Structure 1
């Protein structure tokens, strides 16, 4: 891109976790989707003839680093911000963007309270945590699990998840058993699961550790052969899960945000993302692609005083994208977001089995086909 082209470009700041302790693999998929969409928007003529230019900053899952990146990007004259996977980091980005009056489209973080107050500057593509995790809780109850243990580390995100689970499960006759980390070792967690008669264990903890060690310990314990394991935050989605855990990583259910079938656009984008990544694209890559489509649509408006989230109505890779205000959600929220509960097939660990499919803000409907 020459000097003239840079001066004419519309800059968009991308905040993405690309190195540890951030979930770098998720960040890589997110960035692949963002850059692929920028290329496609520019190939189609850009924004009123002006190309998009993506300025990428690595957040490393550090809220303070991310907030500083927002300030830097604002000084560089970005028209909007996009990205982030970790909820606590996205919350820091959203707070700073709101204070600066800078549009931020959060692609992948799900924490309901993305901001402390209602704001028109922030929107989100992923479904709120309360929608996805209630779907997951309903799935567990439907499978007959009434004594559900959670191995949990201290975090705003994990604490919110436990609250959602308890709020849904307890009134329906279930029990949520908290096993606080690092108080319990992996071996002690196994003993606690047996003592409490748990039939399901949810991993609400950091990846790869301590999650990998907990899974290996549970799988090796003959007393827990019938225990169901879940990772609602989606750790098994990415290839390094299978590489680290092998057959132990199969059959562990998790949330992901894909429809039963990609849109025509998504079907065309999928091979491009696969080529960029060298592996099948995750839902996070499609979220990144869709986020740029939405920003391009919003940035075509000349009105900078009122951000055009409610006017968005376009076809994304996973279906129609529209935004609305939802109760108790302080930002503009994409609605009818596809939600799946899947696991890796024990018979073919590179294949995902779809256990349930739903859409946020609609009644859950079970899926009867494998993915």
Structure 2
């Protein structure tokens, strides 16, 4: 396949405008090893690579091949920032990717400081940058948009006493705040269970004491998320408690493999339409073949990222300043709808507002099948 992933011999920045057939390079930040969510990273990379291959099959960027220069962030912000420095020095025209919000924030800050345009694929935390920038754009929806949709789903299902099992993290704290503000204004309450030290079994006692009807997992995967699910499922006192995972852990095969039937019936957010159009359906088939399993929404985000960047590079060239200036002019047909960017309050970046949002779960009667429970 065309669209090779390379780690060396990328052109220097002053070579990127050459018309001698040298490659146009995009730096790709992807979590491919622990403690990063490696399965999400694999899906993200599959989408990026598939799109690069299709761009090259269609003639590349003005006759020049498009290549990814991939760096594994392993969910480490410092490692990501160092990778941005390296990729900038290698002459990439733009930066793409990343799944973990805290890592994406570090990458965005460094890219902005270096004048390197960054199209973030999958990280959702609202304030992707500390200060507004015109160099950064994002495909994924802001966390507040998706998680308010999730809160509306909980309210519609009749939940008014909700507990969250949370670990310390800017991302989890942001999610808890979004949920609490949205739910409290509508007569519901959030009780936070700090998972820093207590075992999963302690969650069960707290749920029973508080009379919560829903427990949301704002914790790492596989642990402690898997242990919490097992403990709650095995506790007869909690037979009617709904477990939720707004961050999307049950989307991936690793979740189903670890929990089996116990991992079904756990609502989560995913960013797909109810029905894919012709482009999305075709890409979905190709992603399934590449991954050997149904593609997650993260794989579609990766594909859409390269689709946007390829269009920008064709129309505006590879100069970084021109790429960064192009975000407000983007109008690209993606796998999940027309992608346009606007300045969305609270994000500080150019934002696609919005990708489709669903609350889904794995069908308890058939865990490989997803049920759409709510759309936002």
Q: TM-score, normalised by structure 2?
A: 0.93
CA distance in 2, matches of 1:105, 1:50: 21
1:17 aligns with 2:31: yes
1:87 aligns with 2:87: no
User: In the alignment, which residue of structure 1 is the partner of 2:225?
Assistant: 211
Q: Which runs of 5+ in 2 are unaligned?
A: 12-18
CA distance in 1, matches of 2:183, 2:295: 33
Give the 5 Å matches for 1:1-371: 8-300=22-314, 301-302=316-317, 304-306=320-322, 307-358=325-376
1:113 Cα shift?
0.6
Contact 1:263/1:316 (8 A) holds in 2: no
User: In the alignment, which residue of structure 1 is the partner of 2:15?
Assistant: none
CA distance in 1, matches of 2:308, 2:86: 23
Q: CA offsets per residue over residues 66-117 of structure 1, 9 Å max, x none?
A: 0000011111100000000000000010000000010000000000010001
1:7 Cα shift?
6.4
State the SS of the aligned residue for 2:35. Answer: coil
Q: Which runs of 5+ in 1 are unaligned?
A: 359-371
Number of aligned positions between the proteins: 358
Q: TM-score, normalised by structure 1?
A: 0.94
CA distance in 2, matches of 1:6, 1:281: 36
CA distance in 2, matches of 1:103, 1:304: 6
Q: CA offsets per residue over residues 268-323 of structure 1, 9 Å max, x none?
A: 11111111101011100000000000011112204643421111112111111111
Contact 1:150/1:203 (8 A) holds in 2: yes
CA distance in 1, matches of 2:243, 2:321: 48
CA distance in 2, matches of 1:132, 1:148: 18
Tell me how large the CA RMSD over aligned residues is. Answer: 1.6
Structure 1 residue ranges (4+ consecutive) displaced by more than 6 angstroms after TM superposition: 1-7
CA distance in 2, matches of 1:290, 1:53: 16
1:354 Cα shift?
0.3
User: In the alignment, which residue of structure 1 is the partner of 2:14?
Assistant: none
CA distance in 2, matches of 1:158, 1:31: 24
